[in-house]
Amino acid sequence: MDGIEHRTVRVNGINMHVAEQGEGPTILFLHGFPELWYTWRHQIQALSAQGYHCIAPDLRGYGDTDTPPSSTSYTCFHVVGDLVALIDSLGGEPVYLVAHDWGAMIGWYLCMFRPDKVRAYACMSVPYRPRHPKMKPIETMKMFFGEDYYMCRFQEVGVMEDEIKSFETAEVLKKILTDRTPGPPCLPKGDPFRLKALNGPLPLPSWLSEDDIKYNVDKLNEKGFTGGLNYYRALDLFSWSKASLMIIRPFSHYSALTPKKMNIFLTTINGI
């Protein structure tokens, strides 16, 4: 797109692709699943014109950023580490943070672990959720929603990838991005996105074009869904388990084990 520049930054042991435009205070945009920096293209252009330096990475596992193979490389510590290194590469000044979906969850952890790196945070779709004191996330979701709940179905390596391969990537992506079925999102085995009964391609809403779908599909066909699914597979590692303590070292002077209170000011915007 006009004026948006692309480059690769070495962060936290991986190569991260970023798209950026403008000069001034930095706004850092974080995408969700299964998206890319491309989600924020309109905001990048609009806000860079208002005097901001806008930057949007492909998070680890997505697009043109490296994809570590193991799901244990997708904990909040790893992804926050990527973002801290990215911010430091820009000079280390705190950023305005804007995030959606999985990016929003990572955004909360960035605010908690490194409040010195964030000026303000605009979060979409995922409010702050403190960990349960006794139950891991996947165990909790199975208890409330059953084993077909989408986050539970994403856990076994290779299973969801194989089911997705039996459908056109474009139709899977359209379903994920546009589905408004009431109730908990459950994925029945064999037809997880309920595409078999469709007579022709899914219609698109006004905010999503075939060109948008194609851009994302080309990247997904090249890299696959595993990187994005690995975030869900690392959910239980977000708890303060003994294994996770080995990853806290980059944040040792902002210990994640120190009890904290967060003052959170929320404005609800209907429709997002």
Q: How far apart are CA 142 and CA 150, in angstroms?
A: 10
Domain count, the chain: 1
188: preceding bond cis by omega (within 30 degrees) = no
Range(s) of the domain holding residue 125: 5-254
pLDDT of 64: 98
pLDDT over 60 at 189, yes or no: yes
Residue 239 domain-assigned?
Answer: yes
CB-based burial of residue 90 (10 Å sphere; 0-12 exposed, 13-18 middle, 19+ buried)?
middle
Residue 68 domain-assigned?
Answer: yes
Residue 28 domain-assigned?
Answer: yes
Residues 6+ apart with CB under 8 A from 87: 26, 28, 93, 94, 95, 117
pLDDT of 67: 98
Residue 269 domain-assigned?
Answer: no
- How much is the pTM? 0.89
Residue 99 domain-assigned?
Answer: yes
Among candidate residues 78, 80, 20, the one with its CA nearest the CA of residue 54: 20
pLDDT digits (tens, 9 = 90+) for 81-129: 999 999 999 999 999 999 999 999 999 999 989 999 999 999 998 888 8
pLDDT over 50 at 69, yes or no: yes
pLDDT digits (tens, 9 = 90+) for 234-269: 999 876 454 444 444 444 444 444 445 556 555 655
3-state DSSP assignment of residue 165:
helix
CATH number at residue 152: 3.40.50.1820
Residue 264 domain-assigned?
Answer: no
Residue 271 domain-assigned?
Answer: no
pLDDT of 187: 94
pLDDT digits (tens, 9 = 90+) for 10-68: 999 999 999 999 999 999 999 999 999 999 999 999 999 999 999 999 999 999 999 99
Q: How far is CA 66 from CA 10, 102, 207, 215, 231, in A?
A: 10, 17, 29, 18, 14
Residue 268 domain-assigned?
Answer: no
- ∠ Cα 234 239 245 (to 5°): 95
